[in-house]
Structure formats: structure tokens, C-alpha cells
Structure 1
């Protein structure tokens, strides 16, 4: 047996490696294209611009997100804030599942992503509490969990709700039709009165 015997397997291995590299490159390009398409599509739609404007208005207001706690759940502003935060949750989930490109999105929106999380985190914590039929409170950490995880991974300054003590809300709040009452913000939370 001569050296010619080894050429065919070597060529096959090299061909397989080249094919794998091409496959991974194509997947990476597709992820980046999906990320660019999502950013372009959402930021150019009137609906997203309205949601962004509503979120920014609440964020910059003196009352902040604490002012939303007194609004009825059907209030347009509360729904807009929730829809805006759901956009971030979708982004975080897409990144986690490998559908979107994390490094590209982080370079484009990383600071805003974390800033908006920190501003809304106390309100999100209130949204996680749900009153049970027996009158007790249950905390649902899955509400915006992907958004929280991503923001905390991207910045040491991100508020970690999972590290805070979970204190059930006061029982004195009335139940609003269609939603659970929201507990009061804790003293010292951003946006707390």
C-alpha cells in the first residue's frame, strides 16, 4: 500500500470539514439577517414607534412606572408598556434559542435594552404577583424571565429580581375587573413614590 491509499479518505475528511464550515457560516449569516430584518421591521412600524413613545414617556415622567399601578389593567398605557416589554422578551427568547444573533443585537440595542429593563424592573416585579382563588398571592418568575436573564447577563448593573426577597403585596388593594391587584412598590425602588 502506498501513499495513494490515504489520499481518498483525506480528501473526504477535508471536504466534510469545508462543508461543515459552509453550513455554520450560512447559519450565522441567516441569524444576522433575521436580526437585521427584525430590527428594521419593528423600528419602522407605526405600532412599535407608538409603543416606544409610550414607554419613553412613562420612563421620563416624574411618577415613572409606579404611576401605572393605579391605572386599570385595561388602560391603554398599561397595555402599551406591556406590549413594549413583550417585544424585549421576544428578542431575548429569540437570542436564547439561536434564532437571532446576540452580538449584533447587543451592539445595536444593548444599552437601551438594559436601561429599559432597570427602569421597568420594579413594575415587572409587581406584574409577577397573582392573587390565587384562596386569597393567597403567588409569585410568577416566568413573567419576562428571558428579558431579565439577558439584561443581567449583559450588565452587572441590571436589576436582578430573582435575588430580591419576594414579599407578597398588601391585602388592602381592591381587585380590578379582569386583573389581579398589584402590590405597592418597595421604598427605594426606581419609580417608587
Structure 2
């Protein structure tokens, strides 16, 4: 019984550290001045009249706008990789960025396609794309947990108490 309790404690500590690391990442993304400025410009591009795919063409890749787009999308790509690898807690990150993440992908789909052509990299931003699509199609997001999840959580609480 003590081995099970020790395993539960270790597992909970690991999950807590992962959530804490995710919160640190979110705080960094929200306070990094360069990233905040890039995000502001990125939002202007999204709301503007110029199609984002224009900035993915080879003659525009050095434009400031293209740099802002790449900076924001690179952060999204890195975050998607971290989620996929289990480095950060997807639930915590998604609670904060779900709508923004999906809307950024929707607004930049054409840019991503063009950038893949321009850079000759068919996998550019693929993790970001896969995560955004998965989140968009996940209709159960935000629903209350199932009875099985509630019972499991209760049992875990008993073992860690």
C-alpha cells in the first residue's frame, strides 16, 4: 500500500511541476517586451487588408511584418512541440490561450502554406497546425469531467492524503 501511495505522491509532484512550468511559460510570454510588441503588430496584420500569405513570399521575407508573423508563429510552434512532448501542461496552457491559438492559426493558414513553399520546408509550423486543428475539433473542451474522471480524481486524493 505504501508503494502505491509513494507512486501517487511522485506522480502528483510531477504533474504539479509541469503545471508550474506551464504557468512560468505563460507569464514569460505575457511579459516579454519583444514578444508583446511582436504580438501587437501580428494582431494588426491579422486585422489588416493585406493577405498574410503575401509576407510568406520570397521577396517579402525580410519585411518587418514577416518577422512579426514568424516570431509569433515560432512561439506557437515551440509551444505545440512542448505540449506534444509532455513538457508543459496542455490543459493549463489551453485554458489561457485556446481561442487565441485557434484564431491565429485560422488567420495564418495561407501564410503557412506560402512559407512552406518559399522555404522549401513542407513541415514548417506543422505542430502548431496539428495542435490548432485538434483544439478546434475538440468539442468536449470545457465540458465537465466524466464520472470516471471524477472517481479517479477522488481515488487519487485518497491515496495522496
TM-score normalised by the chain length of structure 1: 0.66
Equivalent position of 2:40 in the other structure: 53
Please, which runs of 5 or more residues in structure 1 have no aligned partner?
1-13, 132-137, 158-193
Equivalent position of 1:88 in the other structure: 76
Equivalent position of 2:60 in the other structure: 72
Whichever structure has more helix as a proportion of its residues is: 2
Mapped pair 1:146 → 2:127: yes
Correspondence 1:152-191 to 2 at 5 A:
152-156=133-137
Distance across 1 between alignment mates of 2:130 and 2:38: 22
The alignment of Structure 1 onto Structure 2 pairs a total of residues equal to 137
Equivalent position of 2:13 in the other structure: 26
Distance across 2 between alignment mates of 1:120 and 1:106: 19
Structure index of larger Rg: 1
Please, which runs of 5 or more residues in structure 2 have no aligned partner?
139-161
Backbone CA RMSD of aligned residues: 1.8
Q: Which one of 104, 108, 119 corresponds to residue 116 of structure 1?
A: 104
- RCO (CA 8 Å, sep 6+): is it higher in 1 or 2? 2
Distance across 2 between alignment mates of 1:115 and 1:96: 20
Correspondence 1:132-143 to 2 at 5 A:
140-143=121-124
| Contact 2:82–2:88, Cα closer than 8 Å, also in 1 | yes
Distance across 2 between alignment mates of 1:152 and 1:54: 24
How far did 1:72 drift? Answer: 2.6
**Runs of at least 4 residues off by over 3 Å:** none
